Structure 1
Amino acid sequence: MIQKDWRDFIKQAITQGDSQRNIVVSMRENKRTQKHEVQPGTPLATPEKTPKRSKKQLKDEEELDRVFDAHITEELKSDVEDKRAKSNVVLSPTDISHLRDKKTERVSEILHIPYHIAQKLLDHVEWDEDKLLAQYFENKSKLLVAASIDKRSLTPRKRAKKKAKVAPVTQEPKQETCSTCFDDYPESEFSVLEACGHKFCNQCWGGFFESKISEGITVEIRCMHQGCTSIVPGSIVEKLISDEMKLKYSLFLTKEFVNHNKYIRWCPAPGCEYAITEAITECRSLVATCHCGNRICWHCQREAHPPINCKMLNKWNKLTTRDMGALGAVINTNLDVQTLEWLHKNTKSCPFCSSPIQKNDGCYYMQCSNCRKSFCWLCTKPWDTHEATGHFSCPTYNAGEEALRNQPDHVDDDSFAAKKKAIEDFEKLDTRKKSLLQKFTKYYPMFAEVAKSMESSVSNKEIEDLTRELYEKRAIIDSKFLHDAHLALKKAKESLKYSYIDLAFLNPDTKVDLFGFLQDSLKSTITQLTNALGKPVATLDITEVKKLTKLANTHVESLLQEVERTADDYWTKDRKKERKEVVATATPAATEKEGKVGETKPEDKKTEQN
């Protein structure tokens, strides 16, 4: 094919909806087919003469070419962005050690400094190579002082070379006295630091190193000579400590590298030894996902909480530290202190539906008019446990007819005190805060319901057991769909749970019909996927699980997009303050164009009320 034919072929494939990968494969197949069709010695056919095109045809072709180029570029760009957006890097302890060595060696080569000095400098700047290089070349002395590094450490001390003397065979090795333990050892049993020249016996060095490692110090191990700040190279440390202490030293180095590195986070899941880097953005949160299935927020290192940010979650936690049950009862029933005190004095709550019940006369048998369930007035246990003893006795307290009273004997005085305090605190609030708390108590039960369902999530070990069982009973090797399904289920529950917090902070005037519809759709998909995964391995429908996994991810994306759409409708003081600042700094000329000075338009009044 000539170049134009190839372009026409690709354009036709694009219009038919083929992906770029399929187009390239088809092009290669056509080339290979044409190559085999041409036999040796066969004269090449004379190309047909291309008919002359009009200006309009040429213009249309140029426009089509432009659309084609834009399509290919956008498709390639979206493919790269999708790969970046849907993956983060998980590091094992071995990977972490290799990464630390690689970074340290690179800086050591660039700056021509010893390995252990490069490691200390990187640790000082939280392992940010660009920041280290910028500070080093800008003001090296200032950086070394800030990192507590002696300049002599950059250039190892040169020792004078001694001429080798041939000693007699019968001569004993030369003995030296250690200045720490004052014992005599052969010269070969001593080690000297090149940076400072201090020399001690290997036993003293080893004991000193092991004591520092036991304290958790690794990069900061310095010379044991009093007043000396020279850093001891890791090669000397590993040479003079025991094998058991070497393992601790390596482990502490790895932990210190991650703890001081702002680009890496440990996975907080119990028993997980992996670290995570390169978090991805989900709505307003940076989320990192570990191999164990745990998802964390990159900033606060708590459970991943898209679509809300850490600031909103902190506000929610601060407000929900109160007794939400008591506060909810106050708001939803519009009680005042006097009514609450009368109810506490004259009624008992139904043990099944919590409706208040007043006893005028009669036996211990009570039946709630709301839920129609029966219970004992004295102990509030179901009446089924009292049928054998009659209506005028309570076997729980061994009480007879003489103990019958219409006034309730409460055992929940703490609950009453909490409700009373909640009413008093609620009545002191202004209208805005009352409305906000009313929204909180509306969405808190929904939030708590999803949070409770997440407590029974399947662990990574249970997924591995299911994978093994799937292979043994159904000979299915590729079980990646199980990991994807459980991860999608967890992500869906997180998004649904924290979307209720987002609703609680939205402006009361914001339309949330679509928001509620997307929440209901996601909730329905979560239920279906949970039921599909709950089936025994023998009857597990793999096609259905894959379909629901994809559907759950789609619903999550739709919900997060809707959250982004309503991003400017949050009910916060910051927006009011920003609005006042804009109005205050408006020039008279600009104000006169919109209306008279000091006159507020109806839409402005509405914005200020929000």
Structure 2
Amino acid sequence: MSDAELDYSSEYEDYQDDVEFDDDMADLTSEAGSVSDSGFSPFGTSTPASASAGGQGILSSASSSAAKGKGRASIGGEDLYGQVEYKVLSLKQLEEEQRRAIEYVEDMLKLKPESAATLLRYFNWKKEKLIEAYMEDAEVTLEKAGIREGGAQPRLKRVRGFVCDVCYDNETKETLALTCDHRFCKACYCHYLTSKIIDEGESRRIECMGKDCHVIVDEKTVELLVPPDILDRYRLLLNRTYVDDNPRMRWCPAPNCEFAVSCAVAPRSLDVTIPTVQCACGHIFCFGCQLDGDHRPCCCPIVKRWMKKCKDDSETSNWISANTKECTKCHSTIEKNGGCNHMTCKKCKWEFCWVCMGPWSEHGTSWYNCSRYEEKADNYKDAQSKSRAALERYLHYYNRFSNHEQSIRLEADLYVRTEKKMEELQEQSTLSWIEVQFLAKAVETLGKVRTVLKWTYAMAFYLEKNNFTQMFEDNQNDLEQAVESLSELLERPLEEDKIAELRQQTTDKTVYVAKRCKVLLDDTLRGYEEEPPRWIWQEPIKF
């Protein structure tokens, strides 16, 4: 064990007594997603539910003083995850926000609530822009929004001798006309609205049935015409448009989640800000590019460019599908079936690194450079040679990005094996269930830190080579070595006489890995905020 790791072992002494860490440990290896005093978490992707093994499986946000980094993201209050503040809003809170905005416009412009709501939806809930346009020319503004003031309030009415222009039924029955006075029977209007709401998913801009008439059917009128189930769907769609029309709001992309997230990050700042947010359901995503999970330390424009490049079949189709490699000594085909990159050929017992295919004996020394791409001298003879060198450089970073992605998937199976190993530990020692949680925490930490490492390679691919990039790759290299050491520890079989040693090594290494991850994220995110920005890209980036 290194001296650096020994420094952290004392910080972990309370771990065995409780699954959740106290506040002093929040900046090291706290429950997934908790935020350090510096303002961001070293981790950012959720893990399989089975991984919790008695601990909390849901990521927490952190600015709530009551929770201080523990529990789920609060609803309605300001939260902090990473670099940005945000709010998680329920459907009820969304309706309340709309109600307050409607009351404000209604009172300011002395309009009916239905007209105020229609105007707000037309102006995408931008109150200042609405009021400015209304004060400049009220009549034109109302007409553009589909509002006709002065007409009779829409209501159901029986008109003797009326013939509906849609069904041509002349029986006396309930009819309805908007303020434009285009009258149709209730049955036809109900069918029309149902078709618009259910088949077309329309809600805010449903127009009058009259030819070339653009008067909007408001919510109060819809209430008069459609059955309760259609009305519920209509109101749900209205809520959705409230979020969809607001550039500072996003729906949580998790399946069946009905929460929305409000975040005031400007699109023009996405090259220096990474707006990672966490919904109250526990799901983490990027508010900027809407990618699931946490892609720190990579900013959104680089993520978008990298993902597009990885989908380019001309460069990657033959490599993405390659799940096997040959032993560098006996050339036997080997399939990777675990997260650790320390491979041993079953045929010739040769130990090598899965990433660079070099001898494993050379890894872990002061000149370990598996994660760094060494630039070759620019002495290419022709365009073909340059193209080949560019592809070689891309594949260096892509293979490491892909390798961590594969390791994360494989380590999902490790959660199940870890639970069995924890049961074995209890049987073979005097440790309680709480005391064997160090294995579950180690696996959980490993998956999250691999996600961070994965995105460091995408970032490094686009960085200009300079001293800052060198320091970034040094941090990346340190974290890579620590992760592989922890991964190898978790793959070890249990030996009854070495349980205490395994426990100490694993807990120390888990804390060390989390600490190195935090150092990398701290330094990288600070580089975005510096003026001028520390990170120089090979090509200008725009979102």
- Superposition TM-score, scaled by structure 1 size: 0.50
Identity of aligned residues (%): 23
Q: CA RMSD in A?
A: 5.1
Tell me, in whole angstroms, the C-alpha distance in 2 between the residues paired with 1:290 and 1:570: 32
Corresponding residue to 1:98 among 74, 80, 96: 96
- 1:353 Cα deviation from its structure 2 partner: 1.2
Match of 2:172 in 1: 185
Match of 1:559 in 2: 524
Corresponding residue to 1:227 among 212, 218, 223: 212
CA offsets per residue over residues 551-585 of structure 1, 9 Å max, x none? 744542233335666735322379xxxxxxxxxxx
Give the AA of the match of 1:258: V
Match of 2:277 in 1: 288
Corresponding residue to 2:124 among 116, 123, 126: 126
- 1:197 Cα deviation from its structure 2 partner: 3.4
Match of 1:315 in 2: 305
- 1:237 Cα deviation from its structure 2 partner: 0.7
Match of 1:205 in 2: 189
Which one has the largest radius of gyration?
A: 1
Give the AA of the match of 1:234: E
Match of 2:291 in 1: 302
Match of 1:14 in 2: none
- 1:519 Cα deviation from its structure 2 partner: 1.6
Give the AA of the match of 2:202: I
Give the conservation status (yes or no) of the 8 Å contact 1:519–1:559.
no
Give the AA of the match of 2:455: Y
- Secondary structure at 1:308 match in 2: coil
Give the conservation status (yes or no) of the 8 Å contact 2:315–2:391.
no
**Cα distance change of structure 1 residues 523 and 295 upon mapping to structure 2, 3 Å threshold:** farther
- Secondary structure at 1:556 match in 2: helix
Corresponding residue to 1:515 among 452, 460, 472: 472
Match of 1:408 in 2: none
Match of 1:251 in 2: 236
Give the conservation status (yes or no) of the 8 Å contact 1:533–1:540.
no
- 1:218 Cα deviation from its structure 2 partner: 1.2
Give the AA of the match of 1:560: L
- 1:455 Cα deviation from its structure 2 partner: 3.8
- Secondary structure at 1:276 match in 2: strand
Tell me, in whole angstroms, the C-alpha distance in 2 between the residues paired with 1:205 and 1:117: 20
Match of 2:115 in 1: 117
CA offsets per residue over residues 316-358 of structure 1, 9 Å max, x none? 34443245468989xxxxxxxxxxxxxxxxxxx9x85176xxx
Give the conservation status (yes or no) of the 8 Å contact 1:176–1:185.
yes
- Taking the TM superposition and a 5 Å limit, the aligned residue runs for 1:451-466 are 451-455=405-409
CA offsets per residue over residues 205-247 of structure 1, 9 Å max, x none? 3222222212212111222233332222212212321122122
Give the AA of the match of 2:295: H
Moved more, 525-534 or 204-213: 525-534
Match of 1:135 in 2: 133
- 1:513 Cα deviation from its structure 2 partner: 3.7
CA offsets per residue over residues 175-196 of structure 1, 9 Å max, x none? 624431434336xx44443x22
CA offsets per residue over residues 40-70 of structure 1, 9 Å max, x none? xxxxxxxxxxxxxxxxxxxxxxxxxxxxxxx
Give the AA of the match of 2:103: E
- Secondary structure at 1:449 match in 2: helix
Match of 1:371 in 2: 330
Tell me, in whole angstroms, the C-alpha distance in 1 between the residues paired with 2:326 and 2:82: 51
Give the conservation status (yes or no) of the 8 Å contact 1:89–1:276.
yes
Moved more, 98-107 or 248-257: 98-107
- 1:157 Cα deviation from its structure 2 partner: 4.1
Give the AA of the match of 2:474: F
Tell me, in whole angstroms, the C-alpha distance in 2 between the residues paired with 1:443 and 1:373: 25
Aligned length: 378
- Secondary structure at 2:231 match in 1: helix
Match of 1:499 in 2: 456
**Cα distance change of structure 1 residues 510 and 95 upon mapping to structure 2, 3 Å threshold:** same
Give the AA of the match of 2:477: D
- Taking the TM superposition and a 5 Å limit, the aligned residue runs for 1:345-424 are 353=326, 370-371=329-330, 373=332
Q: 1 or 2, which has the higher helix percentage?
A: 1
Give the conservation status (yes or no) of the 8 Å contact 1:507–1:571.
yes
Moved more, 129-138 or 260-269: 129-138
Tell me, in whole angstroms, the C-alpha distance in 1 between the residues paired with 2:244 and 2:238: 10
Give the conservation status (yes or no) of the 8 Å contact 1:282–1:306.
no
Asked if residue 269 in structure 1 is aligned to residue 226 in structure 2, the reply is no
Asked if residue 446 in structure 1 is aligned to residue 400 in structure 2, the reply is yes
Match of 1:196 in 2: 180
Give the AA of the match of 1:353: E
Mind listing any 5+ residue stretches in structure 2 that lack a counterpart?
Answer: 1-77, 335-344, 348-379, 420-431, 493-501
**Cα distance change of structure 1 residues 268 and 225 upon mapping to structure 2, 3 Å threshold:** same
- 1:307 Cα deviation from its structure 2 partner: 3.1
CA offsets per residue over residues 129-178 of structure 1, 9 Å max, x none? 2332333334445544554x24x33x44489xxxxxxxxxxxxx986244
**Cα distance change of structure 1 residues 427 and 179 upon mapping to structure 2, 3 Å threshold:** farther
- Secondary structure at 2:275 match in 1: strand
**Cα distance change of structure 1 residues 120 and 547 upon mapping to structure 2, 3 Å threshold:** farther
**Cα distance change of structure 1 residues 277 and 302 upon mapping to structure 2, 3 Å threshold:** same
- Secondary structure at 2:393 match in 1: helix
- Secondary structure at 2:203 match in 1: coil
- 1:86 Cα deviation from its structure 2 partner: 5.8
Tell me, in whole angstroms, the C-alpha distance in 1 between the residues paired with 2:102 and 2:96: 10
Tell me, in whole angstroms, the C-alpha distance in 1 between the residues paired with 2:327 and 2:489: 35
Tell me, in whole angstroms, the C-alpha distance in 2 between the residues paired with 1:102 and 1:428: 67
Give the conservation status (yes or no) of the 8 Å contact 1:116–1:231.
no
- 1:427 Cα deviation from its structure 2 partner: 8.7
Give the conservation status (yes or no) of the 8 Å contact 2:449–2:514.
no
- 1:456 Cα deviation from its structure 2 partner: 6.0
Tell me, in whole angstroms, the C-alpha distance in 2 between the residues paired with 1:118 and 1:86: 32
- Secondary structure at 1:127 match in 2: coil
CA offsets per residue over residues 419-441 of structure 1, 9 Å max, x none? xxxxxxx9973787665444322
Match of 2:3 in 1: none
**Cα distance change of structure 1 residues 373 and 232 upon mapping to structure 2, 3 Å threshold:** closer
CA offsets per residue over residues 527-556 of structure 1, 9 Å max, x none? 788899999xxx999998899767744542
- 1:277 Cα deviation from its structure 2 partner: 1.4
Tell me, in whole angstroms, the C-alpha distance in 2 between the residues paired with 1:475 and 1:353: 41
Moved more, 498-507 or 87-96: 87-96
Give the AA of the match of 2:172: Y
Give the AA of the match of 2:402: A
Tell me, in whole angstroms, the C-alpha distance in 2 between the residues paired with 1:90 and 1:298: 12
CA offsets per residue over residues 272-308 of structure 1, 9 Å max, x none? 3322111667953333322334333333322343333
- 1:259 Cα deviation from its structure 2 partner: 2.0
Give the conservation status (yes or no) of the 8 Å contact 1:489–1:552.
no
Tell me, in whole angstroms, the C-alpha distance in 1 between the residues paired with 2:491 and 2:129: 51
Q: Per chain length, whose mean CA-contact separation is higher, i.e. which structure has more relative contact order (CA < 8 Å, sep 6+)?
A: 2
Give the conservation status (yes or no) of the 8 Å contact 2:276–2:286.
yes
CA offsets per residue over residues 372-426 of structure 1, 9 Å max, x none? 6499xxxxxx999xxxxxxxxxxxxxxxxxxxxxxxxxxxxxxxxxxxxxxxxx9
